[in-house]
Structure 1
Amino acid sequence: MDNHDAWVTSIKPIEKAFNASPVSKINEDLLRLIFQTNVRVEATVPLYVYVDLMNRPLTTARLSSQVCRSWRRLLLDSPSIWGRLIHLDSLDQKNNHWREELLRRTQSSPLWVTGNVTGSTENPTPVRVFFYYLLQNPKCWERIEKLEIIVHGEDTSDSVWNTFLTPAPNLRIFEIYFPNVREPLFQNTISPNSNKRLFGNHAPRLLEFHADGIEFAVDSSWLSNLREIATPSRLTVPEILDLLLHMPLLESFFLQFSEATEEWLPSGILPHIELPALTIMLLTNSLATCSTLLEHMYPAKTCSLALTTNSYYAKKFISKDVLRSLKQNLPRYIHNYFSTYISTRIRLRFFDDVFHFEDESHRHTHHIFFTVCIYTKADSSEASENKVLTDFLLQVFAKCALDSPSRFSSVTELSLDMRYADTTSLPYFHSMLSSFPSVRNLKTNEDSVVFLCSLFNLQQDEATGNRPSTLFPHLQVLELTYLDPDHYLLPDTIPGALLPFLKLKKESGQPINTLDLRLCGSDTLRDIEFLEEIEGLEVLTLEGAVEESYICGSGMPDKLRFRTRSGWNSPPPASSGTGVGYG
């Protein structure tokens, strides 16, 4: 009898009260489903996320087994539940009793082992000793279905790791990180001429592999069944493509920044790889590496893409071949994604050092996404280099839209942040933004409104006499995230770009109905009494937790004098000297 059994014999009075409550009448099948749902909660918690031990599913299961005899019987008769709750962070007690009891309750069921292997080889913690036992006991190792751990310490010389060289007949998920170890495990053990292979070259059920710190052969037999992989950082681009050739069933592919690919430039003949099941690509690397993978990988047409280049780059790594490859192949991914999924919300950021395009549409699953975030700042101080890459990307996306006008026609909400001041690029911006004719809600800021005014004022074509088409013909709501702080202390007679923009829309016969300032905050608003002339415009603000609305032209312009009403940050008194004033 364990301590919990002894405790149960003393709860008869409490159990009588429990038996009278509605919860005691829950159907046993439903109760089992609830306990299994608790297990699934554990499975959704990422390794790097801290969760208080009292909120861990293992703690919930243990406490549930102490509620009453029927609950306890049901849980103790469900070894698969306990087998999936081997969370190491919850098992670091000095005494071995609970670890041994938990392992006993699992009987011979599959094991899910997750959490942090703390301590080190020299100073092992109780949980590290327990984890080593699981690896060294063949009966336990062969039962492990899921292994998701972070191994602390710098020494991997323990012979216990050799267990990974033995067959893993039931292993399905293998995710292991050695954050403090520089050289991969088995670096000098596994080689083309060695008979030693990771998992003894036998892991027939393995589906997910995330193990940057472990060496393995790229022709391992278990690769053919993989559905998800995070590419080891030591691999070069040709080696990555070679690896992909061995994974025809791959569904998710993750590439992180690595020194092996940072300074790589395309060279030689590389294979084109058909990956018909691949629906998720996450690429975080240099532009040259990412463009090469986009060129040589042919995923499913439903594939989601998140492409992020590492910050800044050396000019020599953005060759004409790299740009040619990007221009030819990125549109394929854009076309496939937006032909498959209807998008209603897009986010655009154009800074002097970044180009960011993202689909923010509400989806029923987080596995559907499209993001391109490319840092355009070169390692030189020449702003012209940034402009070349930004203009290039603008043209790529604008051409995609022009080739298929319906591609973004369903977008009704646009989040726009423009802080790119080169006026020679305005035609490219205009072409890009013209791709969103159905936008009704524009979320932006006053800095961006300055650029929008410039786009609206583009001169007519001297040869044809035509003006560019009006942007956002169906725009109804202008939502500002902040007002330009440089205008905060100016008199309300200085409207900035806000009034000209609203007037331009009104004069074009497409007036904006609502100016939403609720995200600005009452303490950052300034006097905008000048908006009184835009009759019919509704201005929404937030005073504390109270929403306020004012219709411009109603004869109460004081409602738009936010700075004056707040009674602070008043403009400085006029200078008596000869300095420049506002008149």
Structure 2
Amino acid sequence: MAYRGLDAHLFRGAVIPTNSPLPVFALSYISRLTHELLLTIFMTIANMYDDQFILPMEDTRFRALTIVRRAAQVCSRWRKLLLENGGIWGRVIDVNLLLDLKTEHWRNEVLQRTRTAPLFIRGTVFSPYSDKKRQEFDRDVRKFFMKLFNFTNWERTEVLDLAVDNIAWFSRKTLEYIQRPHRHLKIFRLTTLEDPPAFRTPLDRPNMIAFTKKAPRLVQLECTDVAINLQAHWFSSLCNFGLSYRKETNRSHPFTLHDILSTLEQMPHLERLNIRWAIKRPTKDDMANVQPKLLHNLKKLGIEDNFATCIAFLAKVRAPRGCHFVLTTNDTTYSTDPRFIAGARAVIALFAQNFFSANAISRIRLNLNDSGLIISALDSRPASFEGGYRFRIECALSNAPQEASPLLKFFAESLSPALSSSSITRLLLYSSGKGRVVSIEGLALFLGSLGSLEVLETTAEVINRYLCPFFSKLVEGAKISGRQPPPLCPNLRMVSILSFDVYGTPNSEAPAPNLAMRLLYLFKFREQLGFPIPLLDLTLCRSSLCPLECLEEMTGLSVIWRDRDGGQKVYVCRSGAANETAFN
């Protein structure tokens, strides 16, 4: 049986109790596990979802519902144990899997097996693209949701973690249940993604109050376009709070800055906060009439809105050291008001210093795009850890001057104190789209703050469009001033090229010939400064390699790449085989 390999793995290194009533050899078989241990294993499987369950999992074999269902088919003992424990089935209400099944019988069977146990309902439901399939799919979803969210089931729901792109799948009666007090609900995450909204529902009626006055066990609330009464008593128990509204609808910005801050003051246990398009743009009077709020236990803060509103909100929030920070703003207008710029710089600098002073970050990414930039801190943890990036700034300008976007300079000035005191050893420098021209001061300040940088991971596009013109202007400035160019990133030891494609020639089989000379210029510039780069890494390059015989001028430079068979090759320039770097 295939389970025997698993048996040995489970018990490898285990201490077998001497007073066990079973022979030692019998304990190695999973079929001999005690009732209590089996129940613990099955409950662990049922609880294996994390905060990111709402993201779809492609391989359904390892979803909890699949594993529990197959475990019930192993033997009569396991089946009896699982069927007697409705709490296990109640924790694996996987809406995606249940809707994928063609028969309604199994959906009803799973609900029946939950008995009267608490329900943990999770899933992401998107409509099919085909009109014909969509009509049939909509009927199935509506029918299933009517049964899943009837009054009896809603009363015993402890977790609702659902994203849908059609709110019309919910009956009006189901949505009205949300207005009633709920004694058991712990987590409520309902994201509606339809655009434009199918119709106005009880979720967004001005007089609608979610859970009315009582939801005493609620610890996590995240919702999109749901009308919320910020005076509700259950806010005091929340640990996670996310309030989102769609920017393009008339539902956005329903609350004042005072409304939000007053509510946060009543949330002593708050650990994660995410506000999206929920705050009306504050006036000067609004700013003068609210005091900063200290959120003692906050671990992660996310804000998305127009830039002025984001800065106004952040200026009135005090987060503890180490707090994760995510700022997103995509309709920023370029302000030349020096007082606003100075104030915004100070606000962002404070949150950056809070984060980098308490978190060991070794990698940072800068992506320059058509409208702005993205700066994000990376480490060994996946991007989905704790619901996304630990530190990320995404900012776009709608009316910035095309000749030199001021964004990089602004954020470089804001982040420089925090980055200078960190131990960042790797920079991922990318570009997408045509990209704006970056100010020399901004790029110099950003690179200058990375004193510990050892590895630059980038593309030929970035070198061609940004770095070489940047270094050329540094040289010109040095000639005019008679001073040596600044030694940016003195510890840089390796450049890693991910692609030789350039904008306008995607997947090009013949990269532009001047890219090799651009790369040579970069290495020569560093050598002339007295800080040569000893290693060029092409092992991660996703495009055709550009012939680099010209690098033979760089004595001692090591070039690493992979041949067609995937083997790693190394060539040291001036070692007598320059044709190696032709990559024929």
Would you say the 8 A contact 1:459–1:467 is kept in 2? no
Would you say the 8 A contact 1:291–1:322 is kept in 2? no
The higher radius of gyration belongs to 1
User: Which segment drifts farther, 107-116 or 480-489?
Assistant: 480-489
What secondary structure sits across from 2:457 in the alignment?
A: strand
Confirm whether residue 513 of structure 1 aligns to residue 539 of structure 2: no
> Cα gap change, 1:75/1:472 in structure 2, threshold over 3 Å: closer, same or farther?
same
Would you say the 8 A contact 1:331–1:396 is kept in 2? yes
What secondary structure sits across from 2:326 in the alignment?
A: strand
**C-alpha deviation, 1:224, in angstroms:** 1.0
Which blocks of at least 5 consecutive residues in structure 1 are unaligned? 1-18, 192-196, 566-583
**C-alpha deviation, 1:34, in angstroms:** 3.2
Question: 1:401-440 residue pairs with structure 2 within 5 A?
Answer: 405=420, 407-408=421-422, 410-417=423-430, 425-440=439-454
What secondary structure sits across from 1:500 in the alignment?
A: helix
What secondary structure sits across from 1:200 in the alignment?
A: coil
Confirm whether residue 395 of structure 1 aligns to residue 402 of structure 2: no
Deviation string, structure 1 residues 64-105 (Cα, Å, up to 9, x no partner): 111102211322233221111222344456866544543443
> Cα gap change, 1:127/1:216 in structure 2, threshold over 3 Å: closer, same or farther?
same
> Cα gap change, 1:352/1:422 in structure 2, threshold over 3 Å: closer, same or farther?
same
Q: Percent of pairs identical after alignment?
A: 26
Could you tell me the TM-score, scaled by structure 2's length? Answer: 0.79
**C-alpha deviation, 1:347, in angstroms:** 1.4
Would you say the 8 A contact 1:76–1:105 is kept in 2? yes
> Cα gap change, 1:351/1:165 in structure 2, threshold over 3 Å: closer, same or farther?
closer
> Cα gap change, 1:199/1:278 in structure 2, threshold over 3 Å: closer, same or farther?
same
Specify which of 186, 189, 198 is matched with residue 210 of structure 2. 198
Instruction: Name the counterpart of 2:155.
Output: 142
Could you tell me the TM-score, scaled by structure 1's length? Answer: 0.79
> Cα gap change, 1:460/1:84 in structure 2, threshold over 3 Å: closer, same or farther?
same
Aligned AA (2:80): R
**C-alpha deviation, 1:171, in angstroms:** 0.4
What secondary structure sits across from 1:473 in the alignment?
A: coil
Would you say the 8 A contact 1:118–1:124 is kept in 2? no
> Cα gap change, 1:416/1:327 in structure 2, threshold over 3 Å: closer, same or farther?
same
Aligned AA (1:309): T
Q: Distance in 1 between matches of 2:352 and 2:343?
A: 14
What secondary structure sits across from 1:414 in the alignment?
A: strand
Would you say the 8 A contact 2:302–2:327 is kept in 1? yes
Confirm whether residue 164 of structure 1 aligns to residue 185 of structure 2: no
**C-alpha deviation, 1:116, in angstroms:** 6.1
Q: Distance in 2 between matches of 1:298 and 1:188?
A: 33
**C-alpha deviation, 1:466, in angstroms:** 5.0
> Cα gap change, 1:226/1:376 in structure 2, threshold over 3 Å: closer, same or farther?
same
Q: Distance in 2 between matches of 1:397 and 1:20?
A: 58
Which blocks of at least 5 consecutive residues in structure 2 are unaligned? 1-25, 128-133, 246-251
User: Which segment drifts farther, 427-436 or 23-32?
Assistant: 23-32
Instruction: Name the counterpart of 1:499.
Output: 520
Specify which of 106, 110, 113 is matched with residue 105 of structure 1. 113
> Cα gap change, 1:443/1:50 in structure 2, threshold over 3 Å: closer, same or farther?
closer
Deviation string, structure 1 residues 105-125 (Cα, Å, up to 9, x no partner): 323322112236899999974
> Cα gap change, 1:437/1:161 in structure 2, threshold over 3 Å: closer, same or farther?
closer
Q: Distance in 1 between matches of 2:494 and 2:142?
A: 57
Aligned AA (1:511): P
Confirm whether residue 277 of structure 1 aligns to residue 297 of structure 2: yes
**C-alpha deviation, 1:294, in angstroms:** 1.2
Instruction: Name the counterpart of 2:78.
Output: 71
Aligned AA (1:111): L
Q: Distance in 2 between matches of 1:20 and 1:437?
A: 57
Would you say the 8 A contact 1:86–1:112 is kept in 2? yes
Specify which of 48, 58, 75 is matched with residue 65 of structure 2. 58
**C-alpha deviation, 1:24, in angstroms:** 2.5
> Cα gap change, 1:489/1:326 in structure 2, threshold over 3 Å: closer, same or farther?
closer
**C-alpha deviation, 1:516, in angstroms:** 0.9
Specify which of 189, 212, 218 is matched with residue 230 of structure 2. 218
What secondary structure sits across from 2:552 in the alignment?
A: helix
Q: Distance in 1 between matches of 2:264 and 2:199?
A: 25
RMSD between aligned alpha carbons? 3.6
What secondary structure sits across from 1:470 in the alignment?
A: coil
Instruction: Name the counterpart of 1:471.
Output: 488
Corresponding pairs, count: 523
Instruction: Name the counterpart of 2:16.
Output: none
Would you say the 8 A contact 2:364–2:377 is kept in 1? yes
Aligned AA (1:481): L
Q: Distance in 2 between matches of 1:142 and 1:21?
A: 43
Aligned AA (1:24): S
Q: Distance in 2 between matches of 1:198 and 1:32?
A: 36
Would you say the 8 A contact 1:201–1:221 is kept in 2? yes
**C-alpha deviation, 1:533, in angstroms:** 2.2
Instruction: Name the counterpart of 1:49.
Output: 56
Would you say the 8 A contact 1:88–1:115 is kept in 2? yes
Specify which of 360, 372, 376 is matched with residue 378 of structure 2. 360
Would you say the 8 A contact 1:458–1:468 is kept in 2? no
What secondary structure sits across from 1:512 in the alignment?
A: coil
> Cα gap change, 1:426/1:126 in structure 2, threshold over 3 Å: closer, same or farther?
closer
Specify which of 46, 57, 65 is matched with residue 39 of structure 1. 46
